[in-house]
A and B are shown apart, each in its own frame.
Chain A
Amino acid sequence: MAYRLSFAMTALGNLLTTALDFVAILLMFSRVDALGGYGLPEIAFLYATSSTAFGLADLALGNMERLGRRVRDGTLDTLLVRPVPVLAQVAADRFALRRLGRIVQGLAVLGYAVAVLDVDWTAGKVLTVPVMVLSGAGIFCAVFLAGAAFQFLANDAAEVQNAFTYGGTTMLQYPPTVFAREMVRGVTFVLPLAFVNWLPGLYVLGRPYPLDLPRWVAFTPPLVAVACCALAGLAWRAGLRSYRSTGS
């Protein structure tokens, strides 16, 4: 009972904070009139796809943040002696249904954006929306996983990883022309996070790409997501092998 109540309350809380997130953008937009030349529905679309993708990844692997503590205090030992992969156990541990808040809210904004966007909805564009959300979720999962793997090396890495992912989503909620060219280049090539939302998003919106990238890059996110997950998986395995437990 207490759990159910706290679930409802945190879900509501999450909903409110993410809503505030969006309202902040809205306010800024109403002052500036157009943020980097993008209108409200377009920003809503970019925001909603990234937020939903992140919400999905967070639902699956958000618990990975707590792994750092387990690595430090050695309680990871208990997960390692069970016949189920550690990842599955961590994901299932207090399965964070409350994180549904972000997804629900992301989907709601997405619904709004799709309804009001002035876009010629070809089959390709319609298909791109779920694909970009899912591959975005895959990429965010890879980031969570890589962050978890990193925690085996650096003991106090939980904060670093948070800066990575949470900072990452905030940046993705703004259209790319706001940022300097070098920064965009870094985000596209160094952090494949941009695939979550910018390139396919711009394709859906019929906007030009930054850096004159070819049109087809809008369809690479699934491949990038798979590659990222594979790399992160390798890092995770290496991390587990270097786990040293604690004395006693």
Chain B
Amino acid sequence: MLASFLQFVFSGITVGSIYALCGLGFSIIFNASHVINFAQGEFIMIGGMATVSLVALGVPLPVAILLAILATMLVGFALEKFAVEPARKASVTTLIIITIGASIFLRGIAQELWDKNFHKLPPFSGDQPFLIAGASLMPQSLWVIGVTVVVIVGLGWFFNRTLEGKAMLATSFNTLAAQLVGVNTKKVLLMSFGLSAMLGAIGGIVITPITFTNYETGIMLGLKGFSAAVLGGLGNGMGAVVGGLIVGIAEAMAAGYFSSAYKDAVAFIIILFVLFFMPSGLFGKSGTERV
């Protein structure tokens, strides 16, 4: 009883961490541009797939991970530079549609570059589970959770302690004033795509040993990350993290106690519920200065 409950919590927190990273990606770009970047899920896919390919080429895992993150960031920069930036004067709706187009485009490229099959990575440190009160916790889950914690702490430091981070926040609060103190707000927009791509790639890489990956992985993960961000209040960093954990755990419970057929429905029910009953999410937008 307790054991299975604990088991669902473990798996919920693990996938929830990825939703949190993805939700943070949505929030960072949303803050910088008010665009909802529906290609966020593709960053997750590219990070995972690129690592798989590099490892298959014989590149040592840590180097492969680093290169895959860099490659995903380049895709993020390119997305901003060549798809979003040229249309910057267009309405936000147009920009959102552009990101949807970009996500389809990126999936197409991925399908050509790789294939439609599922690919996997070996767990980073073996697959000997830890037994806790009858529930088993995989070492890879600890990697996922640990890396997520490190990333969140790093982001918190960046946005609350560095001038560059504060300049990004300042741009989201008041773009005109940010320009007037000398912030290059175009660069901030570019940075926000790079940063979000990095978060997506990191999530995609650490989760691949557990869930495997293929060219379409980003669709579902992206939507769930989006529901996490919406649940926490779009633009609210801490909200995205809490939202990610809630979506992850709710999903694991639904799959465990009812049927795994309901698993994906949970995220959609949450999105609809939030949009209808609390459009500003659990934490509204007021807490944006804390990531």
A binds B: no
User: A interface vs B, CB < 8 Å?
Assistant: none
User: B interface vs A, CB < 8 Å?
Assistant: none
